[in-house]
Copies of this chain bind each other. A is one copy, B any other.
Amino acid sequence: MAIQKKVGILGATGTVGQRFILLLANHPTFVIHALGASSRSAGKAYKDAVRWKQSQPIPAAVATKVVKSCVAEEFKDCDVVFSGLDADVAGDIEMEFLNADLVVFSNAKNYRREPTVPLIVPTVNTSHFDLIPYQRELHKLSKGFLVTNANCSTTGLVVPLKALQDAFGPLSHIMVHTQQAISGAGYPGVPSLDILDNVVPYIGGEEEKMEWEVGKILGNIAEDGKKFAPLTNTIVSATCTRVPVLDGHLESVSIKFANAAPTVEQVYEVLEKYTCEAQTLGCHLAPEKAIVVTKDADRPQPRLDRDVQKGQAVTVGRVRTCPVLDIKFTLLVHNTVLGAAGSSVLNAEVAVAKGLL
């Protein structure tokens, strides 16, 4: 019989929380056990507390569940807690949960830069789970730990970069331009008057996140085994824009290798062959291919490619020589699946497979 793990969801009424619910309904390992939201929602049935904005209906078992406050005491019998909390409250709540010896997978940005907290993209750097024993020791925990996943745009970017770095050595320079979907801003999020017949060339804090997170994810654990050591010789320049697309972030990337540059054909070959640990471990949500390569001249496109591999793959196309750096290409990531809740859940599956929970 399959292992069953009890799951709690923090921020369950938000857009990320709704995605957690859809991903976890009918999950072979995880069973939704507790839902947490703001005090305004606590005590209500989920269906009355939420403004459900998904095209699939609320799973029946979740609809009538009573929403709890986000306090650790209410979630103490959960084997794992997923956090879709907003950054303004995630810091305190997640730390309280960690201190209560709970396992927390967070989508919030608050602890991503913490030297002892893994920042894991599940198809890229699950080796970073190796720091968990030290994190537990540091916080004097027996079973709890905290893992974060990356910003949605960073997540899409690092998947092909990891494949290329593994094959051709370090990248010295990365330029990335994003065209991000409105769902990335939550609900109500982007006012329609701002985005219909328009593009907004700015997303607060996003460029800084991308420029920093890449280095930690593609980097290693320090030699002393007690902290992460982000890359120091890889420079990232990001420009982030918002476009009138519902789901799916498109990114135009140009890179320079520290060593000799590969050819376009070599890049395609490496991308096509890429596999990751989540696949090897046979995780439920692991995509069959972590990178889907397209050679159609006008692909990937958000509407046509975002649901490939149930949103857990990154689609890469338009690989070509860059006259300024070495190689340029276009990628697409489903921002609310692999780019958010899908990363957290797949990370947790990997943790189960590794015996961490």
Which A residues have a C-beta under 8 Å from some C-beta of B? Answer: 53-57, 173-175, 177, 179, 182-183, 187-202, 204, 211, 235-237, 239, 241, 243-246, 250, 252, 254, 297-308, 317-318, 322-325, 328, 330
Contacts and interface: CB of A to CB of B under 8 A. Distances in A.
Given A325-B237, A328-B237, A328-B239, A304 B53 contact: yes
22 contacts: A53-B304, A57-B308, A175-B254, A183-B193, A188-B194, A189-B192, A189-B193, A192-B192, A192-B194, A192-B195, A198-B301, A198-B303, A199-B243, A199-B245, A201-B298, A211-B323, A235-B324, A236-B324, A237-B254, A239-B328, A239-B330, A243-B243
A201 B325 contact: no
A237 B325 CA distance: 9
Given A199-B245, A239-B252, A182 B175 contact: no
A192 B299 contact: no
Contacts of A244: 192, 196-197, 243-244
A243 B43 CA distance: 35
A236 to B, nearest CB: 7
B198 A188 contact: no
Contacts of A306: 55
A104 to B, nearest CB: 27
A188 to B, nearest CB: 4
Contacts of A193: 53, 182-183, 187-190, 246
B202 A323 contact: no
A322 B237 contact: yes
B328 A197 contact: no
B322 A199 contact: no
Q: Quick one: which of A189, A298, A330 has the most chain B CB within 10 A?
A: A298
Given A53-B193, A173-B324, A204-B297, 19 more contacts: A55-B306, A175-B254, A175-B325, A182-B193, A187-B193, A188-B193, A192-B194, A192-B196, A197-B246, A197-B302, A199-B302, A211-B323, A235-B324, A236-B323, A237-B328, A241-B250, A243-B243, A244-B244, A324-B325
A244 to B, nearest CB: 5
Given A187-B191, A324-B235, A252 B241 contact: yes
Per CB-CB distance, the 6 closest pairs between chain A and chain B, nearest first, are A188-B191, A202-B298, A198-B303, A237-B324, A177-B177, A192-B192
Given A177-B252, A297-B202, A190 B191 contact: yes
A204 to B, nearest CB: 8
Contacts of A182: 192-193, 196
B245 A197 contact: yes
A236 B328 CA distance: 13
Nearest to A296: B202
Contact of A323 (B199, B237, B246, B330): B237
Contact of A201 (B199, B237, B252): B252
Given A188-B193, A193-B246, A244-B244, A239 B177 contact: yes
Contacts of A194: 53, 188, 192
